[in-house]
Amino acid sequence: MADEHVRVPILRRLAEQAMSDPEFRAVARTNLDEALTTYGYDLNPAEHALVLRFRSTLEEAGVDLFLSPELSMDLNALLEPDELVSIEREVKARGGGAA
């Protein structure tokens, strides 16, 4: 599935924008897909699924990158080191990591 590679730099940029851009969050709050399209994120199905899973996991933990009105944390500060390793392993298992 060569077209299903997860582009980590794009997902990182998306997470950073979600944390720092209140206008993006305002759109994503009501329609994530519209926000992704409006702001130029053309995610493949694997990336889209990871975004939804990541968002759901953060919501369960009480943190929401997309819906929080004020959030100014470093992405790495949101997750424990073992969680980052787990995400990296999942991305690699899906054949991701390509820019």
Task: Evaluate if pTM is beyond 0.75.
Answer: no
pLDDT digits (tens, 9 = 90+) for 21-80: 989 988 988 899 999 999 999 999 999 998 888 888 877 777 655 555 544 445 555 555
- Whether 98 is in a domain gets the answer no
C-beta separation of 90 from 83 below 8 A: no
Domain with 38 in it: 2-93
Q: Report yes or no on 64 lying in a domain.
A: yes
Which region among 17-21, 25-29, 81-85 has the lowest average model confidence (pLDDT)? Answer: 81-85
Amino acid (one-letter) located at 40: G
What's the number of domains the chain is made of?
Answer: 1
Would you say residue 47 lies in a domain?
A: yes
Tell me if 75 is assigned to some domain: yes
Tokens for 95, please give them.
Answer: 């054949």
- Residue 35 maps to a domain: yes
